[in-house]
């Protein structure tokens, strides 16, 4: 086969090659050890001297042509493969995508953060305490005598070795007063509390509280009302009406509850999930710290006074989520999170 016949055969096969594998086969066939080019170059030694330069140039030119056209074909096939891949995998980026559902902070966390933002502006700091407590901090130090109903088994989860699960976060305040930090004392405590009671729409054996104390010389009931109004309006908004009513708590005297007017039914619907026709919803308990509590921890109750308040953050979170029961807050019900995300706090 002459050089020209070899080139003609190469061009014919090259035109039909469409894959990198086929091009590699052509490279081996026309440039490999047993190819025409290699065989022709080896035959130069047996040719007459005057024919060698012309034949050698002819073979070298053919080799360079084959190499050049194989490189061009390789680039063409690679570009075609990329174009084909792009075409097969093409997507219209202007089409609506599959949106991932946006997450949401847990309702209880939102309430806690909202309340803490208010308290920090008022100069309060967060303190923490154990959930497994001693009766002294849960009862005795807070003017709750041994015959008080709250100490009965139906209200308290008792543990071995005379320990218990705290029934309120007031235990943290007792521990703070015991340390005698410098005045003024402005502390809040938040977290889980436990009560051994029947579970219904508004009661659970586990729920969350948010409590605070402010101890200083010269505090009056006016300071208490002003502080609570600031907290309530910051959490619920300025458009709500609030009222105070007498209450009883063993560790405060005088004591007061704070109600918020129900904006859903205004007291006209007995089936209203918020107020059940009462027109008002209790949102927190409060009072002036009882003199016996000050005496217990060595404070001069004639010189210092203090205010204390407690908010049921579980109840606030359920109201914000628009649910009439507390239990869904502690279940993996995404509808509660979606309600908070839409409405916000």
Q: Which of 288, 316, 323, 328 is nearest to 304 (CA)?
A: 288
The pLDDT of residue 134 is above 90: yes
pLDDT band, residue 180 (cuts 50/70/90): very high
Question: How many CB atoms within 10 Å of residue 54?
Answer: 10
pLDDT of residue 345: 46
- What would the DSSP string read from start to end of 241-274? -EEEEEEEETTEEEEEEEEEE-TTTTT--TT-TT
pLDDT of residue 344: 45
Average pLDDT, the chain: 82
Highest-confidence range of 7-16, 106-115, 245-254, by mean pLDDT?
A: 245-254
**Mean per-residue pLDDT, 333-341:** 67
Question: Is 200 or 257 the better-scoring residue by pLDDT?
Answer: 257
Q: What pTM was estimated for this model as a whole?
A: 0.66
The helix/strand/coil state of 10 is helix
pLDDT digits (tens, 9 = 90+) for 64-75: 887 888 788 888
């Amino acid at each position: 086969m002459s050089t020209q016949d070899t080139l003609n055969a190469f061009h014919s096969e090259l035109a039909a090659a469409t894959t990198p594998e086929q091009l590699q086969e052509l490279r081996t066939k026309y440039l490999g050890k047993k190819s025409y080019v290699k065989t022709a170059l080896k035959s130069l030694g047996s040719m007459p001297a005057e024919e060698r330069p012309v034949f050698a140039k002819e073979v070298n030119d053919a080799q360079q042509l084959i190499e050049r056209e194989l490189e061009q074909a390789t680039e063409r096939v690679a570009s075609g493969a990329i174009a084909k891949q792009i075409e097969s995998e093409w997507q219209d980026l202007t089409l609506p995508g599959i949106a991932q559902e946006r997450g949401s902070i847990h309702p209880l966390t939102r309430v806690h953060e909202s309340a803490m933002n208010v308290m920090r502006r008022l100069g309060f700091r967060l303190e923490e305490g154990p959930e497994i407590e001693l009766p002294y901090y849960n009862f005795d130090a807070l003017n709750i005598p041994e015959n008080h109903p709250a100490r009965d088994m139906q209200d308290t989860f008792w543990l071995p070795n005379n320990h218990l699960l705290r029934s309120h976060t007031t235990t943290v305040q007792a521990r703070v007063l015991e340390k005698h930090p410098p005045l003024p004392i402005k502390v809040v405590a938040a977290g889980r509390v436990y009560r051994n009671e029947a579970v219904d729409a508004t009661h659970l054996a586990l729920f969350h509280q948010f409590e605070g104390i402010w101890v200083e010389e010269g505090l009056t009931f006016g300071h208490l009302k002003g502080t609570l109004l600031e907290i309530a309006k910051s959490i619920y908004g300025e458009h709500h009406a609030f009222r105070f009513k007498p209450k009883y708590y063993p560790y405060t005297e005088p004591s007061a509850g704070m109600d918020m007017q129900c904006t859903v039914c205004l007291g006209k619907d007995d089936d209203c999930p918020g107020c059940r026709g009462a027109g008002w919803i209790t949102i927190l308990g409060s009072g002036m710290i009882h003199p016996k509590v000050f005496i217990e921890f060595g404070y001069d109750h004639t010189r210092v006074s203090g205010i204390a308040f407690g908010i049921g953050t579980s109840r606030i979170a359920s109201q914000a989520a628009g649910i009439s029961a507390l239990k869904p807050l502690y279940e993996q019900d995404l509808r509660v999170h979606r309600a908070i995300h839409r409405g916000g706090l």
